[in-house]
């Protein structure tokens, strides 16, 4: 007779898997990251165009709440890919608690963008980070207990850790420890698409990795010399040899040199494009600003460019140039550049210097700020500091507070006091876009030479060039040609000289 009270082995395994998943879903998460816009207000506007790149990026997504750990060998067939669970940690001095909390929430947004679930966050007030473990000894033990309680597998520090600090903290908490720089580099690695962007990210990663190589066991052994060596060279070749970690460092330096040459090789093509725009006297506008402030959305609203838009940090890395026209027909370009973030790794500033040159060569900079962010003044200062590092601080600037549909009236008064001449726009609702276009037209440099000419009807190309690159003040169609009064570039003025009135 069969005992119906005994469950089957397969049912036991399934129950254990479901119980394990339920236990994970009960863990308290850190909370919404302030650097990311609320999903209910982050819907794409009609000006964003077909977001095919966004669909490709979301084609393969990891699933939360599923485990890869095996409690029993019978559960092997139920394994699924799971998100990395992380705990954040930071240190701040006396009087800097608000800045530290904003920075930690921004780190939470970075971790979410990189593909992790933030379970908890810890802040410690102390004058200086501990030289050994970043946190004090007691707080490190408390962090270990928190990590064990919430089931985290990674700790992220809100700074750039020294190699010794990372290893010492790992020894205490018994899980992987990474820092803010590692997370940012990981996001850049995921989102880089162009060959130049990928080379820039790889160079920054290798620069960060080089002083952090770790060696033990075979990594510290030396290459054998003498007749026991691979070449069997015999006398004259014996010596201490080269350790494996030294070999790795040499290979990294060789790869870094190769990447620098590759990035330099991209420069002529980029400079040729800029020279063509300058030769045709086409003014340029560069969009700069904090990450996730809505730069790509604003570019789409101004030009209907269809550039990828995503509610994530560093969604777009490669500079995108689009053509636009003023109300009187003058052509100019708008360039979307990589976003900034506080404590941006210096390796990335150096690696993306060529991309940031687009800002330096622009005639006008649109400085986009997330008006709904808790610390817009910090965003302004961070972007201006980075622009100063690359030598483009003294540029004509139009400050734009984006996401105006999320800014209450009393907060607008505060922002107006911060930047009296700023523009409030909403890429989502279209508020302020017309006024911003007018401000851009006013800020664009005017052609240098004023001309009056009667252009023959068989030279319509000159009239078209005036419309495209000059400023047409008046036009009259006469019997012998088109009488124009315009401001044009020196090159076009020379072509119009034979027809001067």
pLDDT given at position 286: 86
Q: Parallel, antiparallel, or unpaired: how do β-strands 423-424 and 154-157 relate?
A: unpaired
d(CA 271, CA 239): 50
The winner for highest mean pLDDT among 272-286, 359-373, 430-444 is: 430-444
3-state secondary structure 378-410: HHHHHHHHHHHHCCCCCCCEEEEEECHHHCCHH
List the alpha helices (DSSP H) in 29-127: 52-57, 97-114
SS3 278: helix
pLDDT given at position 186: 86
Q: How far is CA 251 from CA 181, 198, 244, 246, 257, in A?
A: 22, 19, 11, 9, 10
E strand intervals along 290-421: 320-325, 331-336, 364-370, 397-402
Share of the chain above pLDDT 70, in %: 70
* Cβ atoms of residues 111 and 101 within 8 Å: no
The radius of gyration of the chain's CA atoms, rounded to the nearest angstrom, is 29
Least confident of 70-74, 318-322, 372-376, 380-384: 70-74
Structure tokens that stand for 269 in this block: 């093509």
pLDDT band at 424 (very low <50, low <70, confident <90, very high): very high
């Amino acid at each position: 007779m069969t005992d119906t009270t005994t469950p089957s082995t397969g049912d036991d395994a399934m129950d254990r898997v479901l119980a394990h998943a339920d236990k994970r879903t009960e863990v308290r998460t850190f909370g919404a990251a302030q650097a990311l816009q609320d999903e209910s207000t982050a819907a794409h506007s009609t000006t964003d165009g077909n977001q095919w790149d966004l669909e490709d990026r979301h084609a393969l997504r990891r699933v939360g709440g599923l485990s890869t750990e095996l409690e029993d060998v019978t559960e092997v067939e139920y394994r699924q890919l799971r998100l990395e669970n992380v705990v954040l940690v930071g240190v701040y001095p006396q009087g800097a608690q608000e800045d530290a909390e904003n920075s930690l929430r921004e780190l939470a947004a970075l971790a979410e963008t990189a593909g992790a679930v933030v379970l908890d966050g810890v802040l410690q007030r102390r004058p200086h980070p501990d030289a050994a473990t970043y946190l004090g000894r007691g707080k490190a033990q408390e962090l270990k207990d928190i990590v064990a309680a919430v089931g985290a597998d990674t700790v992220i520090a809100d700074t750039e850790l020294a190699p010794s600090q990372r290893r010492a903290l790992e020894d205490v908490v018994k899980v992987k420890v990474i820092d803010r720089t590692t997370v940012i580099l990981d996001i850049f690695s995921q989102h880089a698409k162009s060959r130049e962007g990928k080379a820039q990210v790889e160079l920054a990663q290798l620069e960060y990795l080089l002083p952090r190589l770790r060696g033990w066991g075979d990594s510290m052994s030396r290459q054998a010399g003498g007749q026991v060596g691979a070449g069997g060279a015999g006398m004259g070749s014996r010596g201490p040899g080269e350790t494996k970690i030294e070999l790795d460092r040499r290979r990294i330096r060789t790869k870094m040199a190769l990447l620098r040459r590759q990035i330099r090789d991209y420069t002529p093509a980029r400079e040729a494009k800029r020279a063509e725009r300058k030769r045709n006297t086409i003014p340029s506008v560069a969009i700069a600003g904090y990450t996730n402030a809505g730069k790509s959305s604003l570019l789409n609203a101004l030009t209907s460019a269809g550039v990828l838009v995503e509610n994530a940090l560093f969604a777009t890395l490669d500079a995108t140039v689009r053509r636009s026209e003023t109300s009187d027909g003058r052509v100019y370009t708008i360039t979307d550049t990589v976003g900034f973030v506080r404590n941006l790794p210096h390796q990335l500033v150096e690696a993306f210097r060529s991309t940031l040159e687009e800002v330096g060569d622009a005639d006008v900079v649109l400085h986009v700020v997330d008006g709904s962010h808790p610390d817009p003044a910090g965003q302004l200062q961070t972007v201006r500091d980075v622009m100063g590092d690359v030598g483009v601080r003294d540029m004509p600037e139009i400050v734009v507070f984006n996401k105006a549909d999320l800014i209450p009236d009393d907060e607008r008064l505060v922002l107006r006091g911060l930047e009296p001449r700023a523009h409030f726009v909403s890429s989502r609702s279209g508020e302020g876009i017309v006024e911003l276009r007018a401000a851009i037209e006013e800020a664009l440099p005017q052609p240098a030479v004023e001309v009056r000419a009667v252009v023959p009807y068989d030279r319509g190309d000159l009239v078209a060039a005036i419309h495209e690159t000059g400023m047409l003040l008046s036009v009259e169609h006469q019997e012998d040609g088109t009488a124009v009064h315009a401001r044009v570039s020196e090159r076009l003025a020379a072509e119009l000289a034979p027809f001067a009135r």
